[in-house]
Amino acid sequence: MVQTIKTYYRKEYFNFPVQELYLLATDNDVLGIFFNVESMDKYIQDNHNDTPNPGVNQVLKDLISELTSYFDGKLTSFTVPVALYGTPFRMSVYDTLRSHVQYGETISYQALAKTSGHPGAYRAVGTAMKLNPLPFIIPCHRVVHTDGSSGQYAGGSNLKKHLLSMELSHV
């Protein structure tokens, strides 16, 4: 479903310690954190009827502050307001991941499917992780294969391994 929201702000090329990120927000909520501009543009096209305005508002300033603290190992959960869109299945998986898997912990795709009330839907959980517009806030990097291997990640498998290692070193 396409939503019309009057004002977006986008901050391109914000250099975090691990890589550049593209940030998208309204005046009230964070809409997305993207690893490339193409992913952000596709998200906007698929979900919103508006063109982002360049610039940084207070929501993005707060997000940048929290991301910086997270990458410095000083923040273990995010408090910035978010607006999340998706199917009821994806929303239940995101809610379960955010509420049940803490900083420095991991969960398998299979266990996340079961915990979110969808046993056997582990491939669909993988798809939900791939479509997650709020990595870090909805910590899809904490979802791994049953054998403990890291699996894929929108930001690349090396970044996923780095994030898991970083979190473990600060627990």
Whether 160 sits among the annotated catalytic residues: the reply is: no
> Could you write out the DSSP letters of every residue in 140-156?
GGGEE-TTS-----TT-
Model confidence pLDDT, tens digit, residues 148-163: 998 889 888 899 999 9
With bands split at pLDDT 50, 70 and 90, how would you rate the model's confidence at 89? very high
Alpha helix stretches (DSSP H) within 32-87: 37-47, 58-71
Catalytic residue among 23, 82, 140, 144: 140
With bands split at pLDDT 50, 70 and 90, how would you rate the model's confidence at 13? low
Model confidence pLDDT, tens digit, residues 111-141: 999 999 999 999 999 999 999 999 999 999 9
The angle that helices 122-130 and 88-100 make with each other, rounded to 10 degrees, is 90
With bands split at pLDDT 50, 70 and 90, how would you rate the model's confidence at 85? confident
